[in-house]
């Protein structure tokens, strides 16, 4: 058990760094516009509307704010800016919480590995349950018993990092790193690379690319089927990216809008407040389930893609 756990911590670092690098790249274009808008609004004496506040909370930025919802007072931590060779590598809000998720996974898994025993208990028993589920229900069933164990550390890392990032996003004043399309794209690219590696390892480099078009297809259909199969291969990481990103962003927007109804309907706000808070509480608990579900779906689809690539079709 210790060897897979050590592998999980290494891959967690790689996933976090890849997602962070892609998050950095976004800042050069988008953050300049985001940074100018609040300043201009402040000079004009404009008070942000409820939608503006909501989208400011779910979008990325170069600061972390701790705002009092009653008084409106806020303590803001401005994140450092870094420019290297014309590239904006500034640390952003989502990068910080992605790194936090990575640290939590490394610490919890490392502590669990140190406390392993013949009879599982504490952190170790929890980690063992999840790893066993990933191995038996995802890796072995989608990749195969003979090859599945080799990919358990990678799949378990995806599951733990995504689940932790999703749950951190539900903490007040925190942000969901998986609500940033650059982070989900980074994780999807990592899965795509592992999928190509698994395919070339299982079938051989020549065999993998030779069988990219299903066997039995007439040669005259190859000019049509080859682009289709290549496009199909590229749409898999795209599907992983959009699925996780859209679900996490949509859930947070719904949650904030339910609370925002109190301020949108100012005349009847006090009467709407109990209903809005009740529905928001229900959505919040639903988001806890969605956080687990999306981590499972991303990991399951990754295992499925790896298994499909490992065997010729």
SS3 content of the chain, % helix, strand, coil (to 5): 75, 5, 20
**pLDDT given at position 162:** 93
Instruction: Indicate the Cα dihedral angle 245, 249, 252, 258, nearest 10°.
Output: -140
Is 60 exceeded by the pLDDT of residue 42? no
Q: Is the pLDDT of residue 27 over 60?
A: no
Cα separation, 192 vs 189, in Å, equals 5
Least confident of 18-22, 37-41, 102-106: 37-41
30: confidence class by pLDDT, cuts 50, 70, 90: very low
| H helix runs in 119-218, sequence order | 122-133, 140-142, 145-148, 152-168, 181-203, 205-210
CB-based contact 157:165 (threshold 8 Å): no
Residues 6+ apart with CB under 8 A from 263: 50, 269
Percent residues over pLDDT 90 in the chain: 19
285 pLDDT band, cuts 50/70/90, is very high
State pLDDT tens for residues 149-174: 888 888 988 999 999 999 999 988 88
Q: In 10 A of CB 263, how many CB atoms?
A: 14
The band of 46, judged by pLDDT with boundaries at 50, 70 and 90, is low
Mean pLDDT of 242-259: 89
Residue 32 has pLDDT above 90, yes or no: no
pLDDT higher at 275 or 263:
275
More confident residue, 270 or 277: 277
Q: What is the pLDDT of residues 105-150, one digit of tens each?
A: 888 888 777 766 666 666 677 888 888 899 889 998 888 888 888 8
């Amino acid at each position: 058990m210790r060897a897979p756990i050590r592998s999980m911590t290494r891959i967690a670092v790689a996933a976090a760094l890849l997602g962070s690098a892609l998050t950095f790249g976004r800042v050069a274009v988008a953050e300049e516009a985001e940074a100018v808008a609040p300043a201009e609004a402040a000079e004009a004496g404009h008070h942000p509307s409820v939608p503006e506040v909501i989208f400011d909370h779910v979008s990325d930025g170069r600061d972390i704010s701790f705002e009092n919802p009653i008084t409106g007072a806020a303590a803001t931590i401005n994140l450092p800016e870094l420019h290297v060779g014309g590239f904006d590598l500034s640390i952003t809000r989502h990068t910080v919480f992605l790194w936090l998720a990575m640290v939590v996974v490394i610490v919890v898994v490392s502590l669990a590995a140190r406390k392993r025993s013949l009879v599982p208990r504490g952190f170790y028993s929890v980690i063992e349950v999840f790893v066993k589920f990933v191995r038996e229900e995802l890796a072995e069933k989608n990749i195969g018993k003979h090859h599945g164990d080799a990919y358990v550390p990678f799949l378990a890392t995806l599951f733990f990092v995504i689940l932790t990032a999703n749950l951190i996003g539900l903490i007040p004043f925190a942000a969901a790193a998986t609500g940033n399309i650059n982070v989900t794209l980074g994780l999807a690219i990592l899965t795509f690379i592992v999928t190509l590696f698994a395919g070339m390892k299982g079938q051989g480099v020549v065999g993998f690319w030779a069988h990219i078009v299903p066997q039995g297809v007439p040669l005259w259909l190859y000019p049509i089927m080859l682009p289709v199969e290549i496009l199909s291969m590229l749409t898999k990481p795209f599907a992983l990216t959009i699925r996780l990103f859209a679900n996490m962003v949509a859930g947070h927007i719904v949650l904030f809008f339910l609370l925002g109804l109190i301020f949108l309907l100012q005349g009847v706000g006090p009467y709407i407040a109990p209903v809005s808070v009740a529905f928001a509480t229900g959505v919040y608990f639903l988001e806890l389930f969605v956080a687990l579900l999306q981590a499972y779906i991303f990991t399951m689809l990754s295992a499925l893609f790896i298994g499909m690539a490992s065997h010729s079709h």
